[in-house]
Structure 1
Amino acid sequence: MAVFKLLVGLGNPGSEYENTRHNAGAQWIEALARQSQCSLRSEKKFFGEFAKAYIGGEECYLLIPTTYMNLSGKSVQAVCQFYKILPEQVLVIHDELDIPPGTVKLKKGGGHGGHNGLKDIISKLGNNRDFGRLRIGIGHPGHASQVASYVLKKAPTEEYDQIEKTIDESLRYCDDIVRGELSNAMNHLHSFKA
């Protein structure tokens, strides 16, 4: 049985946000959908782009909320309620300021670290923090006052390439991740540097 039934990639909808740092999670899900040969389709009742996929022999669901980042929980909550998915069966893929571009970290549970998408998901899942996180490093601009504009900008080419390589590398371990065989994925990904 799949440990993660729902894989959620965070981002903002609309062409102006495409390929911005904040959309790294959404990019990851788009790449996974291509790899799994399934099509993400707009699903009104889930407030997002949605697909059913078979990963590592397991049936699971892919989701990119189209609610804007700060309301991501509305979309996650809708899918979880419809399919009776528990918070610990959810993996959220998101951009992470606290790790540099070209790095990726995987963990179960934890706080929101100031990430508004995670904050909303935690509140909509009844303050449950047990979901998994795949954190794609985007680096920090250096000062808290610069964070909002930094995450909504496209990364320079070199950084963008590092983020893409991180996405590609972590997708190689997707079967393990979905099945909950996290230690192998963590051992490799936590020492990976694009």
Structure 2
Amino acid sequence: MILVAGLGNPGDRYALTRHNVGFMVVDALAARSATSPIWRSQFDGDLAQVELGSTRLLLLKPQTFMNQSGRSVQRAASHFKLDVEQLLLVHDELDLPLGRLRLKIGGGDAGHRGVRSTAAEVGSKEFGRLRVGIGRPPVIFEGTVADYVLQAFALPEREELPSVLDRAVQAVMLVAERGLAEAMNLTNQC
């Protein structure tokens, strides 16, 4: 069993923002489930168990806001007695162009406070991560990086999202079925 924790911020205000792409991937996984997932409010988050093919996944959307996401992830992982190797964090990545996916194990947080919070709460950086590229703000952008990630995707970007989410779901399924090392080899080639 794998806990797939998608990072984002709760509430309609943030639903279509770049920072919520982790929630979007988790919702796309839930939509592919053979049965309708039952979401429960647990562990400071929304949690569902789903079966995709022969694979059982725990899906988590922390409801603590991004900077405190780790608390929810740690509580769920602890309850289900999961090792850090059974955790896959899905989050937005500024350093990748829109739609580019990268799987990795461990590493720094690159300033992502949700990743930082998770590493601090679980006591390790050695969990799997699916980094979903959102790109950097354009040169002409007037605002901070925080302003950029909390903005809704622009219309041309929204048109790309279904394809991005499909590929992200495929990457998660590869992790669940073949393990992170093989999934990294296959996903990171693109």
Give how far 1:179 is off. Answer: 2.9
Provide the C-alpha distance between the structure 2 equivalents of 1:62 and 1:69, rounded to a whole number of angstroms: 16
Q: Is contact 2:84–2:126 with CA below 8 Å preserved after alignment?
A: yes
Provide the C-alpha distance between the structure 1 equivalents of 2:182 and 2:156, rounded to a whole number of angstroms: 28
Gap change, CA 1:162 and 1:185, over 3 Å in 2:
farther
Do structure 1's residue 139 and structure 2's residue 130 form an aligned pair?
A: no
Do structure 1's residue 94 and structure 2's residue 91 form an aligned pair?
A: yes
Give, as a single letter, the amino acid of the residue that structure 1 aligns with 2:149.
V
Q: Is there any run of 5+ residues in structure 1 with no aligned partner, and where?
A: none
Residue 6 of structure 1, aligned match among 3, 16, 20: 3
The SS at the match of 2:30 is: helix
Provide the C-alpha distance between the structure 2 equivalents of 1:14 and 1:99, rounded to a whole number of angstroms: 26
Give how far 1:119 is off. Answer: 0.6
Gap change, CA 1:75 and 1:57, over 3 Å in 2:
same
Give how far 1:77 is off. Answer: 0.9
1:129 paired residue number: 125
Q: Give TM-score scaled by structure 1 length.
A: 0.88
Provide the C-alpha distance between the structure 2 equivalents of 1:22 and 1:72, rounded to a whole number of angstroms: 13
What does residue range 40-189 of structure 1 map to in structure 2 within 5 Å? 40-43=38-41, 45-126=42-123, 128-141=124-137, 146-182=144-180, 185-189=183-187
Q: Is contact 1:170–1:189 with CA below 8 Å preserved after alignment?
A: no
The SS at the match of 1:179 is: helix
Query: RMSD of aligned C-alpha atoms?
Result: 2.0
Give how far 1:170 is off. Answer: 2.4
Give how far 1:160 is off. Answer: 2.4
